[in-house]
């Protein structure tokens, strides 16, 4: 059940706002993959998602720790950054499967480095530069993802 949606984001505030909009739509867990070059806005988008679930502190990229957990009132949000992952098997040693419960929100930057150790996403999102703006493209890969994309289109 593939659906897609794309939008242009004028600046950092628009990128955060789009993350918050996605968080407002999600009623139960989701796996979200984020693709894009360094600096394309993946962590900025994730900040919006985490804030959308009620986090008020800083949201930083877990480049060296691989995962940053946010245990919030509405949901547990886990932000993964696999950029520095040497071998996907390292994920098995850190207990990666424990994070991906049906109720958890898992946002994964650089998912291609996770191989078979991370589940298929509900949403596959790509951020890219178009001039001074960013373009964000959502593709659903599950029923849950399709429902999110359908609500974004409204």
Over residues 72-89, the pLDDT tens digits come to: 998 999 999 999 898 999
Neighbours of 126 (CB within 10 A): 16
Three state DSSP letters for 26-70? CCCCEEEEEECCCCCCHHHHHHHHHHHCCCCCCCCCCCCCCEEEE
**Domain, as residue range, for 104:** 4-153
Q: Which pLDDT score, from 0 to 100, does residue 112 have?
A: 95
Please give the pLDDT value at position 93. Answer: 87
Q: At what angle do helices 143-153 and 12-25 cross, to 10 degrees?
A: 120
pLDDT, residue 62, reads 84
pLDDT at 49: 97
Q: Each residue of 99-141: pLDDT tens digit?
A: 999 999 999 999 999 999 999 999 999 999 988 889 999 999 9
Tokens 């996907």 sit on residue: 88
Query: Rounded to two decimals, what is the model's pTM?
Result: 0.94
Mean predicted confidence (pLDDT) in 1-12: 92
Say whether pLDDT at 16 is over 90.
yes
Split into its structural domains, the chain has a count of: 1
Strand ranges of the sheet holding 105-109, from the earlier edge strand across to the other edge: 4-9, 133-140, 123-130, 30-35, 105-109, 76-81, 67-71
* CATH code for the domain of 68: 3.40.50.300
User: 102: helix, coil or strand?
Assistant: coil
Q: Is the pLDDT of residue 60 over 80?
A: yes
Residue 122 to residue 30: CA distance in whole angstroms = 6
Would you state the pLDDT for residue 18?
97
Distance CA 27, CA 11 (A): 27
């Amino acid at each position: 059940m593939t659906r897609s949606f794309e939008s242009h984001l004028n600046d950092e505030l628009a990128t955060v706002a789009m993350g918050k909009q996605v968080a407002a739509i999600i009623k139960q867990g989701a796996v979200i993959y984020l693709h894009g070059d360094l600096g394309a806005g993946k962590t900025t988008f994730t900040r919006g998602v985490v804030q959308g679930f009620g986090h008020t502190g800083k949201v930083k990229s877990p480049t060296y720790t691989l995962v940053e957990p946010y245990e919030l009132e509405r949901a547990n949000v886990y932000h993964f950054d696999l950029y520095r992952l040497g071998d996907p098997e390292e994920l098995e040693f850190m207990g990666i499967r424990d994070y991906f419960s049906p109720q958890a929100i898992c946002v994964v930057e650089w998912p291609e480095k996770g191989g078979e150790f991370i589940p298929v996403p509900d949403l596959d999102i790509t951020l890219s530069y178009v001039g001074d703006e960013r373009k964000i493209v959502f593709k659903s890969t599950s029923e849950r993802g399709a429902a999110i994309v359908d609500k974004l289109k409204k």
